[in-house]
Amino acid sequence: MGRAAKNPLRSLTQEEQNALEEMRRARNAPLTMVIRAKLLLRVADGENYSAAARAEGRRSGDAVAHLVGRFNQEGLLALESRHGGGAATVYGSTERERILTELRRGPDRERDGTGTWSIGTLQRALQRAADGLPKVSRETVSHP
C-alpha cells in the first residue's frame, strides 16, 4: 500500500474524460501521449501512482506524480511532450509551415535564380523574403 498522494488528481471534467478515453484508444497518436492518457485514467479510477506506473510498463510512481501535478495545472496540455533539454527550439510550427509554404510555391527563375529548389536556394529565398526567416540555417531548411 503506497502513501497518500501529496498532490492528488483533481476531478476530471466530462470533456477531459472523453479526450483521455479517445487518446487511450488512438492508433495514430504519439505513444507517449497514449501512455500518459492511460496513466491519468488509471489514477482517476483510484489506482495509486506506483500501481498505475507498473500497469503501463513504467518503473516510477514519482513520474506519474509529476504527470498528475502537470495535469492539475495544465489540463490536457500535460499529455504533450515538452522540450527535453539541449539547445532551445528556435523555429516552431509557424516557421516550419512558412518553410513548407515556400517549398510548395516552387522557384521563380527570375526572382530565385533557379528552376528547381536546392537546400541552398530555398534557404536564400527564405532569408530574402519580406515575411521570411532571415537567419534560417541549411539544416533547418533540410529538416522542417
Confidence at residue 3, expressed as pLDDT on a 0 to 100 scale: 58
- Is residue 71 within 8 Å of 78, Cβ to Cβ? yes
Cell numbers placing 120: 541552398
- Residue 140: the pLDDT is 86
Above pLDDT 90, what percent of the chain? 59
Q: Would you list the domain boundaries of the chain?
A: 14-79, 93-142
C-alpha span between 86 and 59 (Å, rounded): 25
Q: What would the pLDDT profile of 47-69 be if each residue is shown by its tens digit?
A: 999 999 999 999 999 999 999 99
Contact partners, residue 26, CB within 8 Å, separation at least 6: 33, 34
User: What average pLDDT does the structure give for the chain?
Assistant: 90
Residue range 118-122: mean pLDDT, rounded = 92
Residue the block writes with cell 537546400: 119
pLDDT at 46 over 60: yes
Query: Could you tell me what percentage of the chain is helix, strand and coil, using 3-state DSSP and rounding each to the nearest 5?
Result: 60, 0, 40
Rounded to an integer, the average pLDDT of 16-26 is 96
Whether the CB-CB separation of 40 and 68 falls below 8 Å is answered with yes
Q: Does position 1 have pLDDT exceeding 60, yes or no?
A: no
Judge whether 26 and 34 are in contact, CB under 8 Å. Answer: yes
User: Does residue 31 register a pLDDT over 70?
Assistant: yes
